[in-house]
A and B are shown apart, each in its own frame.
Chain A
Amino acid sequence: MRRFRGYGSLVTFVAIAVAAFIFTLAIGNKPLLGLDLQGGVSVVLKPTQQVEESTLDQAIAIIRQRVDALGVAEPEITRQGTNILIQIPGVKDKDRALDLVGQTAELQFRPVLGGQAVETPDSSTTTTAPADASGADATTTTTVADSTTTTVAGESTTTTQNLPGGLPADVCVQGLSAEQLNPQGQALLPQCRDKQTVATYQVGPVALTGAALDTARATLSGTQWVVNPVFKGGEQGIGLFNAIASQCYSKAAVCPTGQLAIVLDGRVLSAPVIQEASFTADQIEVTGNFKEGEAKDLATALRYGALPVEFEQQQAQIVSATLGKDALNAGIVAGIVGVILVGIYMIAFYRFLGVLAMIKLVFEGLLLWAVVAWLGTNNGLALTLAGITGIIVSIGVSLDSNVVYYEHMKEDVLKGRTVRSATDKSFTTAFSTIVKADVASLLGAVLLWWLTVGPVRGFAFYLALSTILDLIGAWAYMRPAVRLATRSRWLMRHPRILGLPEQLETDQKERVKEVVS
């Protein structure tokens, strides 16, 4: 008989499983718990109208900026279909997180008290007039006018650690806290470009918000790109704007510079100088050295507030850490009890073969743990309660392949095959069944993962993962392990312990021995 070469795969399988597990422990990879298990905030935002992918990506970028400001370890902001799913596990101030993410209009108009351009490291060589080059200067007027800025040219500071006025260098990334923004009083705000601070502005209390605006658009006026904001009529719209505009025009104490800053998410977008005392709601033009993109961005910001499109909150969840921990514990205990129950059943039914099946389950478990921990640490893929359920269900998937194989062996042995020949012969047939069935499960799981949203994906992912592990386990471990068992003379003499019926015809070799003894 051809020498069987399968033991190599058995050794490899066991070695990889154990090594992966030890490796996981050694470098401290841990599964990342989903927010339903560790507490946190989850929000699903749905755009109120049809949007393009690029718009959604832009919105995601803005939301990410806001969430990053919370300083949470693993925020996850993803696009699912046309929805945006935001998951912020472990966040402490859950209400603020929810507010921050859900808000669509954080646009504010604040009078400028003083300003300062900042020399950024990457522009220091070319910038001669920082205030001008930065485009921070723009003019608000009914007629086209050239920029007449009062922005103080920066005394270029060599240090990049702190910005003038004590703003941290990474303020454009981190954002400012609610206290620093101080909507009722004064605040020092940055103007950002490519995450670099290009200017800082000392601003007064919020005069009006984006709510006063009706819409805004970018238009080409001659060769210049300009932005036309359109205010709502009445006291709460154009009335509010004109109130502050007249103050700025006369450079009154509340607006000594004559500039009105347009502030978005705590960052100054533009600080145009007010050129007239009073405006008509739809006859306003903001000019500056805008490039086309800049003008359009500003118009979008004016139109929708922070986000390029209006969202409605489809689902929001605040999960308390205690409830999450309870659910995790329940899942783990239920899993352990499930394994024990199944173990008792398998061993009662298949004796030693049942033990082999449970050992396979243990090795697959080690591999699964390693994969889950690796994905959690490196890819931010969280293990949710749905995922844990998927894993528990997959215990059944894994043992099913053993049942199919063992039953096939039993049938072959009853038909008169010797146990040893049945080991290989049945495996071929059984494995073909196992592959067919597992591929069906796998197809189902992949479709689910691909076509659905949220928690469904977690479930589908872990089910698919454990189905693949099962295929590997069945091929690399199951046959050689059973073969090894049938090599044991003692087990062969005790078929009840091995878990197979007695051979119809005794193996000839055995018979010869019996005659001799």
Chain B
Amino acid sequence: MSWMSRLNRGQTNINFLKWWRRGLALSAVLVVLSIGSLFIRGLNLGIDFEGGVSWEVPAPGVSVSEARSALDSVGEGQAKIQVVGSDILRVQGPESSAEQTAKVREELAKLADTDVANVSVSTVGASWGGDITRSAVRALIIFFIVMLIYLTVRLEWRMAIAAIAAVVHDVLISVGVYSIFQFEVTPGTVIAFLTILGYSIYDTIVVDDKIKENERLVGQSGRMTYGQMVSRSMNQVLLRSINTTVVSILPVISLLVVGAFIMGAVTLEEFSIALLVGLIAGAYSSVFVAAPILVWAKEREPRYRSIRERLSSTGVDITQNAPEGNEGPRVSAVVSDGETDSAAPRPVVGTVIPPRPRKKKK
């Protein structure tokens, strides 16, 4: 059976026990990089956070240097001038008087050979960004608390903590990406990050639900450690996780490529880059951060620790996936490293449900 087809049937046998260690290591490196970059390079904050004036005008064919020399005459030669989207000229300068703002507007209209009404202006006081950040941070903290409570009630507190850890990881990495690549942070970016939070938990819940369902396998038979059970659950829901992620990412990619790059809507670009980064981090962290943290927390419970110790003492390799089927510990049948092995017998997942006997018709 091909790897694809096994993936399709939820019968892959990837040894997540091993991949988690690599995943956690990778995450640790990324988080350290992110925090480091945040301290060294900082964030490229848009005018919304620092205060200032931004003008935008559709100006096909006008170059940045042309714009600069034209703006020099009204004393804005030092302004930051970019061409964003397809042909939109964006000029950003420090806070200035209303008259100065209007003067620049007229100059830009002249330059772009268009009506003054077509020049957009955005004036931001320095405290605005601070307000947005404060309300975002507050939203973030309350979100964490509410999620912690909600997940504790619906699942259990260890899963809640693991899920929140994964989200914190997502936020750190997303901020890190913005710092490393120096993408401009706008209120749109903040919005996108905040919205990703709820969404990133979606994946984790799908996985956790499956783990809950499989928990009894460990409890009843004691034939596998909690970690092995979670690894098996991961294999079973792998396609589900991949597909929910693909289905969510495709529209966002369309926003980025079609909306922002081809059609030149700048705001869409702000949203979609943050969404994309957040979605990818969210999908990754539900498998490689939330799950191992959950396993680590669970295996400290006496019940699962004793199973682990017992299995370990009977010579079962608990660093590998548990063998499939009902025949009990069977070290020989374990696929070497969880990668494709077409020679392995087709494993039957879980317990086989016999066909339900037909009821007699009345």
- Interface of A toward B, CB cutoff 8 Å: 1, 36, 44, 46, 81, 83, 94-95, 99, 312-323, 326-327, 329-331, 333-335, 337-339, 341-342, 345-346, 349, 385-386, 389-390, 392-393, 395-397, 399-400, 403-404, 407, 410-412, 414-418, 421, 429, 432-433, 436-445, 447-448, 451-456, 459-460, 463, 501, 504-505, 507-509
The answer on a CB contact under 8 Å between B264 and A330 is yes
- Residues from chain A with Cβ under 8 Å of B359 in the complex: 1
| B188 lies within 8 A of chain A by Cβ | yes
- Residues from chain A with Cβ under 8 Å of B351 in the complex: 415
The answer on a CB contact under 8 Å between B268 and A389 is yes
Beyond A416-B354, A508-B358, list 18 extra A-B contacts (CB 8 Å): A36-B267, A317-B120, A318-B120, A318-B121, A318-B122, A333-B259, A334-B260, A392-B251, A400-B202, A403-B240, A403-B247, A411-B236, A414-B349, A436-B154, A440-B151, A443-B143, A443-B198, A444-B199
Least Cβ–Cβ distance between B141 and chain A, in angstroms: 10
- CA A245 – CA B102 in complex, angstroms? 37
With A316-B123, A317-B122, A508-B358 known as contacts, the answer to whether A342 contacts B128 (CB < 8 A) is no
With A330-B268, A403-B247 known as contacts, the answer to whether A440 contacts B123 (CB < 8 A) is no
Chain B interface category by residue count: 35 or more
- Residues from chain A with Cβ under 8 Å of B45 in the complex: none
Kindly supply a per-residue 1/0 record for chain B positions 242-274, scoring 1 wherever the CB is within 8 Å of any chain A CB and 0 otherwise.
011011111111110011100111011001100
| B290 lies within 8 A of chain A by Cβ | no
- CA A351 – CA B144 in complex, angstroms? 39
Least Cβ–Cβ distance between B272 and chain A, in angstroms: 7
CB-contact partner of B136 in A320, A333, A410, A452, under 8 A: A452
The answer on a CB contact under 8 Å between B243 and A403 is yes
B184-198, CB < 8 A from A:
187-188, 190-192, 194-195, 197-198
CB-contact partner of A334 in B11, B247, B259, under 8 A: B259
- Residues from chain A with Cβ under 8 Å of B354 in the complex: 416, 505
CB-contact partner of B198 in A396, A441, A453, under 8 A: A441
With A318-B120, A443-B146 known as contacts, the answer to whether A333 contacts B199 (CB < 8 A) is no
The answer on a CB contact under 8 Å between B187 and A454 is yes
Least Cβ–Cβ distance between B139 and chain A, in angstroms: 4
Least Cβ–Cβ distance between A405 and chain B, in angstroms: 10
The answer on a CB contact under 8 Å between A342 and B356 is no
- CA A178 – CA B120 in complex, angstroms? 24
| B150 lies within 8 A of chain A by Cβ | yes
- CA A322 – CA B116 in complex, angstroms? 12
- CA A385 – CA B269 in complex, angstroms? 11
- CA A468 – CA B139 in complex, angstroms? 21
CB-contact partner of B195 in A327, A393, A433, A439, under 8 A: A393
The answer on a CB contact under 8 Å between B10 and A437 is no
The answer on a CB contact under 8 Å between B117 and A396 is no
- CA A99 – CA B123 in complex, angstroms? 13
- Residues from chain A with Cβ under 8 Å of B119 in the complex: 318, 320
- CA A390 – CA B259 in complex, angstroms? 14
The answer on a CB contact under 8 Å between A320 and B10 is no
- Residues from chain B with Cβ under 8 Å of A326 in the complex: 58, 263-265
The answer on a CB contact under 8 Å between A327 and B267 is yes
- CA A460 – CA B249 in complex, angstroms? 18
